[in-house]
Structure formats: structure tokens, C-alpha cells
Amino acid sequence: MEKSATEDFLIRKFREYYKSTELYLPNEFTHREFGFMFFKGDYVQRHLGFKTRNEVKRFLLDRAPSHVYYSSAYYERPGAPTMDEKGWLGTDLIFDLDADHIPRVKGLSFERQLHEIKLELMSLVDDFLLDDFGFAEDDLLITFSGGRGYHVHVRSPRVRSLTSPERREIVDFIQGTGLEAESAFRKRAIHRTRYGSIFRLEMPKPDDGGWSSRVHKGLMDFVGRLEKMPKEEALEMLSEFEGIGEKTANEIHASLFDGVAGKRGVDRLREGRFDFFPRDSYRNHLVKVAVKHTLEKYHREIDEPVTADIRRLIRLPTSLHGKSGMRVIILERGEVDDFVPLRDAFPETFGSDPVGVVVEQDVAVTLKEEKINLHEGITDVPEFAAVFLMCRGLAKLSEKEERK
């Protein structure tokens, strides 16, 4: 009964929200497939198409789903029961950033995870989509997913016809898959013989664009860190990289930081020169270290299957997330920096009147700038917190509330 009463409470609250909200519908929504999940029943109802805004609104009010999705694809017949019958017309390019895909956030608090994911989002948008790929801000629809991440929808006609393999190549680029020194550092012929040319790697420049610019920044960052460290710590860090033993670490350090002809190697490096190493092998080791360091620092963790799938369902903006009770919110790029999900994503329809709940486990979280510290047992919490806790499976409706 507790579970059923809790589900009934959430259905009622979600229905109230959909009754009062101005619903967002994607461009060309009549060519989109829609899908839904529900509080009562572990299944996805999909292969639905709608011809009018009123039809969508009526469905949401009648069924009060826990999750609402629409297709990133456009179809001739979105409501057809099989994919082959739908008539594919193209697909938006979708990026999904979620805490599940970023190893460094494991073990962090919910609030901290959301902050780290936001940093990933800003880099994806600014460094890759706007800079490297040259999309305009108007091409992008940025949304908070309502859960633990963000979505970016690229709606430019340029991407609609891309195949799954082509979309995977975009993912590979953003993640730096297969990045090697040869692709980031220029090769310049320094000597020609009858048997061929002898090449030397040249430093990438800050304005080269793409991963070359990132490798330049990564290299400068890495040698800057070495420069600030005591020598023993710097040697230890260099020795952690594959192929660099104690002797090579000492030689690389000396080449960088011991003055030669009145100038240190690191200062020559900052001028874009790479000719101060006594042996090419030392330079090549540093190049490999720079590439590895750059990948760790600058690659973005996106969900490859979501981007590659040309028939993916994605959360509908302005809908509610059934695992949190928060809204899927559309954000302009300039709004992202100051956006705090646990403060800004709860709908106004979830007020602050007290609701009796049975807390399943200890909870410590800040919602709408109100610290929620709870222990197992029966207590009252503001309505927005009750919805959040129930959706997260951390609390159930109390018997007192059931009898109201």
C-alpha cells in the first residue's frame, strides 16, 4: 500500500504540473516519435505520433507519465509500429553527458557530480561544437536532463543525414580516440638524402585549432607543473610514464630546466622551439607525455551510443524526470554558468507545504537552498523535497498523508 500511495501522490503532482505548464514541443514535432514511461508499470510505450499540441497535452494529463521522450529522428510516419515502416527523414545530432560516464565523479555528492558535469558541458559546447565544428549557438538546444546530466541537441540541417559511423567519428574526435604525436605535431623535413627525407617534429601552435592547439596547451601546462615542483617530485612524475626510466627522466628534466648558453630549454619551448634536446629520443618521450596529458585533461566523456544512434529517444524539454521530480530545462549558453539544478530545476507547482514521508535512509542534500538533513523514520518535509525524495526512492508517503 505504501508504494501504491506514493505512486498515486507522484502521479497527482506530475498531473498538476502538466496542467499548469507551457509545454515545449520540438521543431517539426509531427514528424517525431514519442515515448513514455509510467509510475505504475516498468515498460516504455513508444511508436506514438501526435498531430497537434492539444493531443500531446491531453495524453500528459490523462496518463501523467514519469518520463517523456521524443525521437531525435524525423519520420514520414512517426506513429508506425516498426522502424522500417516509419520512413526515416534524418536525425538531429545529440550529445548526452551524464555522471555515469565520467569516472572522476564517482563517490562525489549529488551536488558535486552536477557541478562537474556542467564543466564537461561548457567545454563540449565552447571548445568543440562552437569552436572546432563551427556550429552557431542558434544551432544548439542545451538542456538540463532533469537527472544527473545535460543534453545538447544540434539541430542544423548539416547534420541530419549523417550516418551512425559518421556520428561515431564525431565522438572519436571529441574523445581524442586514436590521438598520437604524429597527428598533433608537424613533421618538417630537415635533410634529404637519396634514400628519402629525415623529419623532425615541430611544436604545434596555439592557433592551429583542434587537437593541435590542445596538445600545445597540454604540453605548456605539463612543463609548467614540472617547473613548479621540487626536482625529486618532478622526476618521480616523469618516471610514472611508460618508457621513461630514472636516467631518461633526469635527462628530460635537465634539458628543460638547466640553462644552456644562458637560456633554459623550457623558455625555448615557450618560444615554439623544440631543438634544445641533446637526443631526439628525449624530445619524443616528452611529446608522448604531452599527448597523454592532453587527452586526460581535454577529452570529453560523452555517451557514444546516444550520439551514434539515428533513432534515439531523448527527454522532452519542460517535461519532468521521474527519478528526481525536476524539470528538463532549456538553457541558453549564457545561462549555464550560473545554473544550479538543485536550486533552479524544481517547478513552482511543487510548493513548500509540509508533506509527511517515511525516510528510507539518511539523507543530506541542499534543495532550493534549503538544507535537508534527515534520518530514517517519519518526518515532514516541504512538498518539493517530498517529490524529490520519493522519485529518488529515498522516501515513501506516510500513512498520515495517505489518510488525508
* Predicted local distance difference test score (pLDDT) of residue 64: 97
pLDDT digits (tens, 9 = 90+) for 148-170: 999 999 999 999 999 999 999 99
pLDDT digits (tens, 9 = 90+) for 98-123: 988 888 888 888 899 999 999 999 99
Element holding 143 (H helix, E strand) = strand 140-144
Q: What share of the chain in percent tops pLDDT 70? A: 94
pLDDT digits (tens, 9 = 90+) for 323-357: 999 999 999 999 999 999 999 999 999 999 999 99
CA distances from 246 to 249, 250, 279 (A): 5, 6, 16
Region 129-140: mean pLDDT is 96
Q: How big is the CA angle at 273 (ends 269 and 278), to the nearest 5 degrees?
A: 85
Region 47-66: mean pLDDT is 97
Give the contacts of 348 (CB within 8 A, at least 6 positions apart): none
Give the contacts of 312 (CB within 8 A, at least 6 positions apart): 71, 72, 73, 91, 94, 306
Looking at every residue in the chain, the average pLDDT score rounds to 92
Q: Which residues form the catalytic set? A: 96, 98, 303
Answer yes or no: pTM beyond 0.85: yes
